[in-house]
Amino acid sequence: MHRQIFSFVIALCLCAHWAIASLTSTEIANALNELAQQGFAAKDLVLEINSTSDAGPLRDVYTEIDTIVTVVLTDISFITNTPVITEEAQEQVVYEGYSNFVQSLLELMDAFASSAGTLMSLDHVSKYKVPAEVRVLESAVDAYFYNIISLFPGNSSYNAQASNQKAQVDTHCYEAIWAFDLEEAGPGRGNGSVQARWLARGSV
């Protein structure tokens, strides 16, 4: 009896291992495009809150971001087992999905940055909650993008372009965080701000 259960568990593990062995380029691209849809949906909600001054959907924005983070962290384990893509057409498919997700993140961060004042006046918690969400999202996406980029051959233009876009996402995330931090700190209190600390990092 116990032995049977044991064998069953081993079989399950083998199955799971088989499943995470690797992903096809189409599966990776589909995952990226679904993530992009979540990103665009979150952005639309932020813009809606900003224009209607109804903070209700803010909870949904956090939920969307948490979902993106969960999916991204799950996908990383699959992608680390996927070999470098050698076919140009497949690189193209993955790159298009990647660019799509990048674009949604850039727009989401810009929406946060330009709505920071409204969001904080509607809901005081957003002053801490949004930057915290953005930080978690940024670090999950950073690891995810790193793994996706490594699927492109090192000498391919996809690799170079994807690395460039990854850096842009980082910058826009910091700009979104600064927008909340600066509103809180106010002008002239630059030393306490994330921006000042981030800029100081280079000289420490």
Ligand X SMILES: *[C@@H]1O[C@H](CO)[C@@H](O)[C@H](O)[C@H]1NC(C)=O
Q: List residues binding ligand X (CB under 6 A).
A: 47, 50, 111, 114-115, 118, 153, 155-156, 188, 190-191
Q: Which is nearer to ligand X, 102 or 113 (CB)?
A: 113
DSSP state of 165: H
Q: Closest separation between CB of residue 143 and ligand X, Å?
A: 25
**Beta carbon of residue 116, minimum distance to ligand X (angstroms, whole number):** 9
- In the complex, the smallest distance separating the C-beta of residue 18 from ligand X, rounded to whole angstroms, is 30
Residue 167 CB, nearest approach to ligand X (Å)? 21
Nearer to ligand X, 144 or 178 (CB): 178
Shortest separation between residue 15's beta carbon and ligand X, angstroms: 35
Instruction: Return the number of the residue (83 or 188) whose C-beta is nearest ligand X.
Output: 188
Provide DSSP, 64-133: HHHHHHHHHHHHHHHHTTSPPP--HHHHHHHHHHHHHHHHHHHHHHHHHHHHHHHHHHH-TTHHHHHHHH
Using alpha carbons only, give the angle 138, 143, 149 rounded to the nearest 5 degrees: 115
C-beta neighbour count of 19 within 10 angstroms: 11
Choose between 78 and 190: whose C-beta lies nearer to ligand X.
190
User: Please, which residue, 116 or 140, has the CB nearer to ligand X?
Assistant: 116
Token pair 């990647």: residue? 98
84-90's contacts with Cβ under 8 Å and 24+ in sequence apart are 84/150, 84/151, 84/152, 84/153, 85/25, 85/151, 85/152, 85/153, 86/153, 87/25, 90/25
